[in-house]
Amino acid sequence: MATISISEARSHVGEEVTLQGWLYNKRSSGKILFLQVRDGSGVLQAVVAEPDNPNLFAVANRLPRETSLRVTGTLREDRRAPIGCEMQLGSLEVIQEPTEDFPIELKEQTPGFLMDHRHLWIRTGSQVPMLRISDATFRAFRTFFYERGFVATEAPILTGASVEGTTTLFELDYFGEKAYLSQSGQLYLEATAMALGRVYWIGPAFRAEKSKTRKHVTEFWIAEAEMAFVDHRANLALQEDLVRHIVESVIKERKDELGQLKRDVDQLLEEVRGPFPRIDYGDAVKLLQEKGHEVSFGDDFGAPEEETLGNHFKKPVFIERFPVGMKPFYMKRDPRDLSRALAADLIAPEGYGEIIGGSQRVDTVDELLRQLDENHLPREPYEWYIDLRKYGSVPHSGFGMGLARVVTWICGAAHIREVIAFPRQINRLYP
RNA sequence: UCCUCGGUAGCUCAAUUGGCAGAGCGCUCGGCUGUUAACCGAAUGGUUGGAGGUUCGAGUCCUCCCCGGGGAGCCA
């Protein structure tokens, strides 16, 4: 007899199978008992009636939620079941019966309580589909680059210098020296791109910003790519292809999970259909002013501005060519207007905020030294980075994508903390 | 760091002008042969975040502190 996962149940209708999982919930009506069994791949209902098997009924009837168990029975089609089939329970083996009541209820609970029990919360409700969609998103990113001949590479997490001097970093002691947790692998990817041509990686990034919003965590996984011989416009084209690829493949692979989340998949598909608008920073400022926002040229856009832009275009939108003062030292200036950087942010629709930041990089020593000076950054920790411009420098571009932000958007989740298994927030380091 | 709203049963929330601390859910028990966060009935469950103050009397008013939610700035 086959041991299968619940996601495979549909194709085993009519067979006797064994499932291993946990008791998610239990309902009864008189002499019929319904066990909701979950195994991580889905939830399936096992049914037992008392007259058919009084002993089995009695055992099953007193099991508490989250009992780990093995159930064996015959699968049969049933239109009333959410997944189209259910199990006629034949036998049941308890692996462990919980020693205490499971604290997560299948009712509304407050975020604070749920976050305190994050290790248990992830077993319930929409958390499982969201984590599975997160998996699909990570994989779609890697597949996209693998299929295009990019080389997966690495960047260190422990660093001696910051990527952007302005952002707050987590500082730690490194054998008596100051070290920082990486906030981006970009500078190192620029080096590996000069070795390997076109590279990508997914790794953790840390920001010691005291942000407390639905879009922010202090630790998140960043997906970055860096390409030699690629300019600003080609960079944007690749980002657009990437985002479309991710959304389309996640929808294809995780249709059931998106359905469980009641995500409007048609809207999501429509959002990535056709070219993404590319709007000059200056035009974006004008558009926002017309829509009543109090922004002036040189201001960064906040969450309300990003939401307005997303609602206006109903698609991911590139804001490009920012004033150089707003952007970090490594971005190349637009040769046609040296006050602007060859950079773009990609703003997700529906108010999910910035999902990509990218640019063409400075590729000459003089330019790099000047921009380090203008940003009041010391040259010494960047000597190796400056070296990259000394030995056969080429035009190159890259970008970084916040994977959890993309997952939040795809899921239609209310908060980024829901799509990360153990999110690190300003006031949460446990569990 | 700032703004804002909160903290009452295991959970989610009520509590009139300052006047007996309550309900739903969960757990337990009972009922129901198709339940979908089942439903119906019963029982259980309290240091009202902490310290101090005002008052005959404080969950409620005052002061300070702690914790949480939402947002801003900054960013992906």
Q: How far is the CA of A116 from the C1' of B19 (A)?
A: 38
Nucleic acid strand B within 7 Å of A31 CB: yes
Nearest residue to A27 via CA among A80, A73, A74: A80
- For residue A7, the 8-state DSSP code is G
State how far the Cα of A9 lies from the Cα of A87, in Å rounded to an integer: 9
Q: How many CB atoms lie within 10 A of CB A130?
A: 26
Contacts of A237 (CB under 8 A, 6+ apart): none
Closest nucleotide over all strands to A405 (CA to C1') = B76
Q: Among chain A residues 347 through 366, which have CB within 7 angstroms of nucleic chain B? A: 353-357
pLDDT tens for A86-111 read 999 999 999 999 999 999 999 889 99
State how far the Cα of A340 lies from the Cα of A336, in Å rounded to an integer: 9
Nearest residue to A315 via CA among A353, A283, A284, A350: A350
Q: How far is the CA of A207 from the C1' of B65 (A)?
A: 29
Q: Among chain A residues 269 through 288, which have CB within 7 angstroms of nucleic chain B? A: none
Q: What is the pLDDT of residue A162?
A: 58
- For residue A110, the 8-state DSSP code is -
Q: How far is the CA of A129 from the C1' of B31 (A)?
A: 36
Listed as ranges, the nucleotides of chain B within 7 A of a protein C-beta are: 1-2, 10-13, 24-29, 31-39, 67-76
Residue A411 Cα distances to A223, A309, A311, A350, A419, angstroms: 18, 20, 18, 12, 8
Q: What is the pLDDT of residue A421?
A: 94
pLDDT tens for A109-134 read 999 999 999 999 999 999 999 999 99
The alpha carbon of residue A33 and the mean position of all alpha carbons in its chain are separated, in whole angstroms, by 39
- For residue A213, the 8-state DSSP code is S
Q: Among chain A residues 369 through 408, which have CB within 7 angstroms of nucleic chain B? A: 400-402, 404-405
Band (A296; pLDDT cuts 50, 70, 90)? confident
Band (A166; pLDDT cuts 50, 70, 90)? very low
Q: What is the pLDDT of residue A165?
A: 53
Cβ atoms of residues A119 and A83 within 8 Å: no
Nucleic acid strand B within 7 Å of A58 CB: no
DSSP string, A233-298: HHHHHHHHHHHHHHHHHHHHH-HHHHHHTT--HHHHHHHHSSPPPEEEHHHHHHHHHHTT----TT
Closest nucleotide over all strands to A348 (CA to C1') = B76
Q: What is the pLDDT of residue A161?
A: 66
Nucleic acid strand B within 7 Å of A431 CB: no
User: Backbone phi, then psi, for A316, in 5-degree steps?
Assistant: -60, 135
Closest nucleotide over all strands to A26 (CA to C1') = B35
